[in-house]
Amino acid sequence: MAHAVAHRLARVLCVFRIQRDQTSSPVAHPAHPALFAAGNLASRNYLGTVARFIVLEGGEAAGKSTQAALLAEHLGALLTREPGGTAIGEALRRLLLEQSLVAPVPRAEALLMLAARAQHVAEVIEPALARGDDVVCDRYSGSTLAYQGYGRGLDVDELRGLDSWANGHRVPDVVVLLDLPLEIARERLGRSHRDRIESGGDDFLARVHAGFRLLAAQDPRRWRVVDASGTVNEVAALVRKAVD
């Protein structure tokens, strides 16, 4: 009984301390230096309770939105997306994806994606993790590297640095890459409206696809590649297995 009360009190103090840290900095602070030093465990609170930050990545029509929703429901996690997830992020999303608007140059496109991410991390992702809630996010940094880096041709290492600054060094615990051959993606896209970035042409989409595969190969500890060509239920089972 005494142990349970002490545990609860310590958890309250921990959350209070993380929130206090967040008020002095717009982006949350790693919960504890010792835990942070042990690896990418910044989402542990002071008691070592783990809230996981899980990201779904992939090319267009790979089924990310469908699978992110199913996974979040399965885990009881907060579901969110990029660009978006906040009022500012959703406004930037419209600006970035609307076909009828003038297209930004690649550097401007990258900076707008990162602005949406900075707001999203500070306003939604860090507070959820600090509360102990798992977060499932439909796209994150991998999309910036794949689309603006490998796709548009911006320097990938420069983008990594800018992205890390924008997201306050918040790295996902797991990234699930939904890998779908471009021909199947095209078939699925044929049935729906294409946004400005999806309309970038076959070469662009092929570079993005190859970029995602490269990112996954470079960081196999964090990235899990899932074959996204099966039925919704088959892919959902693979995604669950990948994050277990």
Rounded-to-integer distance, Cα 193 and Cα 175, Å: 26
How many residues sit in the footprint of ligand Z5A (CB under 6 A)?
A: 27
179 binds ligand Z5A (CB under 6 A): no
Q: Which stretch binds ligand Z5A (CB under 6 A): 9-17, 30-38, 55-63, 219-227?
A: 55-63
193 by Cβ neighbours in 10 Å (0-12 / 13-18 / 19+) ranks as exposed
- Minimum Å gap between C-beta 242 and ligand Z5A is 15
> Strands (DSSP E) along the chain, which ranges?
53-58, 78-81, 135-138, 174-179, 223-227
Rounded-to-integer distance, Cα 178 and Cα 238, Å: 10
Among the listed residues 197, 196, 200, 198, the one whose alpha carbon sits nearest the alpha carbon of residue 188: 198
- Minimum Å gap between C-beta 131 and ligand Z5A is 24
- Minimum Å gap between C-beta 235 and ligand Z5A is 5
Rounded-to-integer distance, Cα 93 and Cα 214, Å: 26
The angle formed by the CA atoms of residues 113, 104 and 171, to the nearest 5 degrees, is: 15
Output 14 or 239, the one with its CB closest to ligand Z5A.
239
64 binds ligand Z5A (CB under 6 A): yes
One of 61, 77, 92, 130 touching ligand Z5A (CB under 6 A):
61
Task: Show the site string, 6-45: x = touches ligand Z5A by CB under 6 A, - = not.
Answer: ----------------------------------------
62 binds ligand Z5A (CB under 6 A): yes
Helices (H) and strands (E) in the chain, counts: 11, 5
Tokens of 58: 């992939």
191 binds ligand Z5A (CB under 6 A): yes
Output 192 or 218, the one with its CB closest to ligand Z5A.
192
| Beta-carbon contacts of residue 45 (< 8 Å; ≥ 6 apart) | 11, 14, 15, 18, 31, 51, 130, 132
One of 29, 30, 44, 63 touching ligand Z5A (CB under 6 A):
63
Binders of ligand Z5A in range 122-161 (CB under 6 A): 138-139, 143-144, 147-148
173 binds ligand Z5A (CB under 6 A): no
164 binds ligand Z5A (CB under 6 A): no
List residues bridging with 175 in a β-sheet. 55, 223
- Contact residues: ligand Z5A, CB under 6 A: 58, 60-66, 82-83, 97, 113, 138-139, 143-144, 147-148, 188, 191-192, 195, 197-198, 231-232, 235
